[in-house]
Structure 1
Amino acid sequence: MSKIDRYVLSQLLLLFGFFSLVLVAVFWINQAVILFDRLISDGQSALVFLEFTALGLPKLITTVLPISAFAASVYVTNRMNNESELTVMQATGTGPFRLARPVFVFGVIVFFMASVLNHFLLPLALQQLSEREAEISQNATSRLLTEGAFLHPSPAVTFYAREITEDGVLRDVFLSDRRTPEEGVIYTAAESYLIRNQDITTLIMVDGLAQRLSTRTNRLATANFHDFSFDISALTRNVSAQNLQARNMLTPQLFTAWDVLAAQTNQRPGDFAEEFHARFAEPLFCIVAAMIGFTTLLVGGYSRFGVWREVAIAFGLLLLIDGARSTLQKPVRDDASLWPTLYLPVLVGALLSIAMMWYVARPKRPRRKRQPAQEQPA
């Protein structure tokens, strides 16, 4: 690699790191506010918030990489064009395909970064995140021990405790269970205790009243009790987290027959097909994003009025290709045999970049001057 290539590549990597840092920080702040409010309201500590934030970073970085590659390519190309560096290189006989070599190498570097994230780091982070969410969802104490507030452990259950003592005693408890459509049950108790035995969580209510309303007969039955145990394990168990999801599996695990994996995890074969091939198509899209940013500005050339039009066109092309990539995911999930369509946006972007470089490389034919009409002799 020549000095010019190393110079352009260093500029691309420098700006890529800057844009990645800025975009990750912006997206992280937006997600952190929502995550902080949800975890803290559920009684979790700040350490749990930091753990969930760290586990969500690989997914965030994977989303940002193509945008950062595109932004770095556009910025460096525009700066080199304004400072006449591209003009000097083209004047020495350097063609567009030769100019695009450091940009392509830059895209390949980003491709390997995204591949490591998609094939290993992201599945591991999602798997750990699912396990931690299952643990938190099964921790009834963190979800129910919030005094003076009506809580909803599940859509059909409402829980309220007026006071929680230092010993963990819940006073003046209200529990509404509407999970059965034919009847609704309301429990009230003076005191309650939470008891955890492995995967079973039980709420022990003392000195209370149970009211059962049947919606079919419209009759209300009441019963006083001295002590009553209520199994709330079903309210705090995350059933979906028990099954191994396609997005949580490493890429070598996805080499197994998709029909077998679908039978084991209650998912469709198309889910595994889309997940497997998307992990290859998304990193390839990073190369396309960098090349589109470079070739679009190269076609526009130098202008005293700026390159806003070329930047807008490049951004529009990127959005169209990325939108097509997102649209093709659902058909593949429905029919696993359609997995080659996931590579169509990458192929279209590559052909579009090659076509623009070919357009710049072809020689410009000068226009012929119109010859003046000769007078004919009388």
Structure 2
Amino acid sequence: MGRFDRYILSQLMRVFGFFALVLVGIYWVNRAVILLDRYLAEGQGGGLVLQLTLLSVPGIMLIVLPVAGFVAAAYTTNRLHADSELVVVQATGYSAFRLVRPYAIFGVIVLLLMSLLAHLVVPAAARELNRLEAQLADAISARLLVPGTFQSPTRGVTVYVRDISQDGTLEGLLVTDRREPARETTYSAHQALLVRHEDGPRLVMFDGMAQTLTHSTGRLATTVFDDFTVAIGDLATAPAQRRLDQRQLSTMTLLNPTPEIEAQTRRNAAYLQREAHLRITQALLSATAAVVGFAALMLGGFSRFGLWRQVAFAIVLVVLVKLVDNAAIDIAKTDPSKWPLVYVPCLMAAVLCLMLLAVADSTLGARLRRRRRA
């Protein structure tokens, strides 16, 4: 790699790092606010919320890095044009195909980062996030109960708890069950525990009383107990019954799903294979977007006001490629066996890059640049 190539690549990486950091920060703050509002209001500690927000960063980066790569390519090219640096090297004989070399290397770097995220980091983060959510589901009090408030986790059931200790013990519990039209049962207990069971979660109450009112006779039956256990499996879904999210699976597992994986995810093999190919195309599109940003700007000549028309043209091209990508994904979603269509936008972006570079080096490109200077 020549000195000029290293200079452009350093500029690209600097701008890419800046925009990636800003965009990730914006998305992360928005996500953190949602999680803080959700979990801190339910009595969870700040450490757990911090873990959840950090685990969301890889997924955010998967969305942000393609945008940051395109912005870095367009911004750097526009600045090099405005400073006449590209004009000087073109006057020495550098063609558009020669100048694209550092941008192609930059695209490969973005491709590797996106592949690392899509195939390794994001699935690992999704598995850890699922583990934490399973822990929260085990502690049903953290998910369904808020101290000092009356809540209805399901129709006909009202729950009140005065306080929840650090070890998960419920202090001052009151549960009213009106799901059966013929009778109404009210449980009260000084303390209670929510425990996991193979047949569903159980509510274990200590030092309390159960009052059952039969509406047809008007009789009230009262039972005082030292400890009493109630099955509450219909109030909360056990974590083991949840569907396995395909985002937790590795790409190789998605490409070669077993019948057990299909049963756990409740998806067929064609659907899972389509998800694996979408991970690959997402990385490829991120790399081509950066090169498209450079190639479109090479159609313009020197201007003190920058290449804003070419920038707008590059944005239109990227949006067009993304629209084709969305259409291909929709078709593959309707019929997962048509997953090869998800690679069409990548081929389209590559052809656009070659065409734009060829036009920039042709007499047509020279005429466009002369007309802009005029």
Question: Which structure has the bigger radius of gyration?
Answer: 1
CA distance in 2, matches of 1:162, 1:348: 62
CA distance in 1, matches of 2:293, 2:187: 66
CA distance in 2, matches of 1:221, 1:281: 68
CA shift digits 1:253-300 (9 cap, x unpaired): 223246663245322334302211011101101111101211111113
CA distance in 2, matches of 1:109, 1:261: 33
Written as runs of structure 1 = structure 2, the 5 A alignment for 1:1-378 is 1-144=1-144, 146-153=146-153, 157-162=157-162, 168=169, 170-171=171-172, 173-176=174-177, 178=179, 183=181, 187-199=185-197, 200-204=201-205, 206-210=208-212, 223-227=221-225, 229-239=229-239, 242-257=242-257, 261-364=261-364
Shift of 1:301: 2.8
Q: Percent identity?
A: 34
CA shift digits 1:128-161 (9 cap, x unpaired): 1112101101202323553221335457754223
The SS at the match of 1:90 is helix
CA shift digits 1:20-62 (9 cap, x unpaired): 1111101101111001111111211001011111111110111
Residue identity matched to 2:271: D
Shift of 1:203: 4.2
The SS at the match of 1:20 is helix
Provide structure 1 residue ranges, at least 5 long, that are not aligned to the other structure: 367-378
CA distance in 2, matches of 1:123, 1:341: 24
User: Which moved further from structure 2: 116-125 or 157-166?
Assistant: 157-166
Instruction: Note closer, same or farther for the CA distance 1:41–1:93 as it changes in structure 2 (3 Å cut).
Output: same
Instruction: Note closer, same or farther for the CA distance 1:72–1:183 as it changes in structure 2 (3 Å cut).
Output: farther
The 8 Å contact of residues 184 and 212 in structure 2, kept in 1 or not, is answered as: yes
CA distance in 2, matches of 1:164, 1:35: 20
Instruction: Note closer, same or farther for the CA distance 1:264–1:166 as it changes in structure 2 (3 Å cut).
Output: closer
- 2:372 is aligned to none
CA distance in 1, matches of 2:220, 2:338: 59
CA distance in 1, matches of 2:144, 2:257: 43
Shift of 1:319: 2.5
Shift of 1:193: 3.3
The SS at the match of 1:100 is helix
Instruction: Note closer, same or farther for the CA distance 1:264–1:233 as it changes in structure 2 (3 Å cut).
Output: closer
The 8 Å contact of residues 192 and 203 in structure 1, kept in 2 or not, is answered as: no
- 1:375 is aligned to none
Instruction: Note closer, same or farther for the CA distance 1:317–1:192 as it changes in structure 2 (3 Å cut).
Output: farther
The 8 Å contact of residues 130 and 241 in structure 1, kept in 2 or not, is answered as: no
Instruction: Note closer, same or farther for the CA distance 1:305–1:166 as it changes in structure 2 (3 Å cut).
Output: closer
The 8 Å contact of residues 288 and 350 in structure 1, kept in 2 or not, is answered as: yes
The SS at the match of 1:300 is coil
The 8 Å contact of residues 147 and 163 in structure 2, kept in 1 or not, is answered as: yes
CA distance in 2, matches of 1:67, 1:240: 38
TM-score for both structures, normalised by structure 2: 0.85
Instruction: Note closer, same or farther for the CA distance 1:9–1:229 as it changes in structure 2 (3 Å cut).
Output: same
Over aligned residues, Cα RMSD in angstroms?
3.0
The SS at the match of 2:244 is coil
CA distance in 1, matches of 2:166, 2:147: 12
Shift of 1:106: 0.2
The SS at the match of 1:188 is strand
TM-score for both structures, normalised by structure 1: 0.84
CA distance in 1, matches of 2:316, 2:155: 42
CA distance in 2, matches of 1:104, 1:212: 77
- 1:374 is aligned to none
Shift of 1:348: 1.2
CA distance in 1, matches of 2:117, 2:165: 46
The SS at the match of 1:189 is strand
CA distance in 1, matches of 2:303, 2:166: 73
The SS at the match of 1:74 is helix
- 1:369 is aligned to none
CA shift digits 1:298-324 (9 cap, x unpaired): 113333443333222222322332243
CA distance in 1, matches of 2:36, 2:182: 34
